[in-house]
Amino acid sequence: MRQIVLDKPGTFFERGVEAPSPSAGEALVRVHRIGVCGTDLHAFAGRQPFFSYPRVLGHELAVEIIEAPDNPAGLRPGDRCAVEPYLNCGACHACLRGCPNCCESLQVLGVHRDGGMQEFLTVPVRLLHKSDKLSLDQLALVETLGIGAHAVVRSGLASGDEALIVGAGPIGLAVFNFARLTGARIRVLELDSRRRGFIQSLGADVIAEPGNLRADVVFDATGSRASMEASFRLIAHTGRLVFVGLVQGPISFDDPEFHRRETTLIASRNSRGQFPRIIGLIEDGRLDTSPWITHRLSLSAVPQGFPALGSSPGLVKAVIEVDSPHA
């Protein structure tokens, strides 16, 4: 079995290892698709918080079950699933309050623990979400969509609100898809003309400059300190600012203005309980992910092809196809 390991920032290598054996409550799965997101690109560049090397990347996964114990969900070998990559303890304050995404010892596949850039993987059965209808590409996008879905839930966005999404990368796209389900009026602020054109083709009201716009809810999906700090100036009085992206280091803002507007600042971490809802929405045709994937790599091409991926023209979303000789 092959693993593609990020040895240190900017350096991948391939190694051969034995296929893992599942522990109690785990399934052995074959990895078919791996979505590439900002977390992976930042890790490659050495700018990802909570990260250590060496690491096998990959947390946006579409898999096929090879071996599974008896389980309440009735999952069986051959089932295709999206993987919820958040490994929580179940016993800390956050977990006991029903917030496993904020577990005090949370580990995320591909970040704190080796992820899916390999042919086989063991994962807890409870983190597998089956669909008989979705394609492997669609299953690999469920985790990205979950980030946006959770952010919109956290925001309390409702019909009649004015919303502004800052950044039209994959996370901004995910926020947009769920924000428009609320009936709110949504605008997207994006500096890059190609990204503006892409999200505009999906029906978004896109702007390149905010002007005097002040929104009830602002979602910053950039992962840029400068953008996140500037977003405080885009909030209407009594408005809410949701940080969907994150950066290493502090964020600063003007406290008197923050108080004058009685702003609510919200952090949104990962996803909580959104996978079944997202799968259902795609199956019902209410979410269309077909335009998203613009670039593809085979697993064996990652060491050579990944370095240029972040600067690829027209990149919206890339997926890695696991070219397993065992498939």
pLDDT tens per residue, range 60-110: 999 999 999 999 999 999 999 999 999 999 999 999 999 999 999 999 999
Task: Supply the CATH number for residue 28's domain.
Answer: 3.90.180.10
Q: What is the mean pLDDT of residues 238-259?
A: 95
249 CA to centre of own chain? 21
Query: Is residue 191 in some structural domain?
Result: yes
Structure tokens that stand for 256 in this block:
């008197």
**Type of residue found at 119:** E
- Is 327 a residue whose pLDDT tops 70? no
pLDDT at 326: 38
Rounded Cα distance, 35 and 117, in Å: 10
Q: How many domains does the chain have?
A: 2
Using a 10 angstrom Cβ sphere, with 0-12 exposed, 13-18 middle and 19 or more buried, the burial of residue 249 is exposed
Residues 37 and 112 in one domain: yes
DSSP H or E segment with residue 87:
strand 86-87
Note the pLDDT of residue 139: 98
The pLDDT of residue 232 is 97
Residues 126, 153 share a domain: no
* CATH of residue 246: 3.40.50.720
H or E element: which one contains 162? strand 162-166
**Is the pLDDT score of 323 beyond 80?**
no
Predicted confidence at residue 273, as pLDDT, reads 95
**Residues 54 and 118 placed together within one structural domain of the fold:** yes
**Which residue segment(s) compose the domain that 119 sits in?**
2-130+292-321
- Reading the block at residue 69, the tokens are 């114990």
Residue 239 lies inside a defined structural domain of this protein: yes
Tell me: the pLDDT tens digits for 19-48? 899 999 999 999 999 999 989 999 999 988
Tell me: pLDDT of 135 over 60: yes
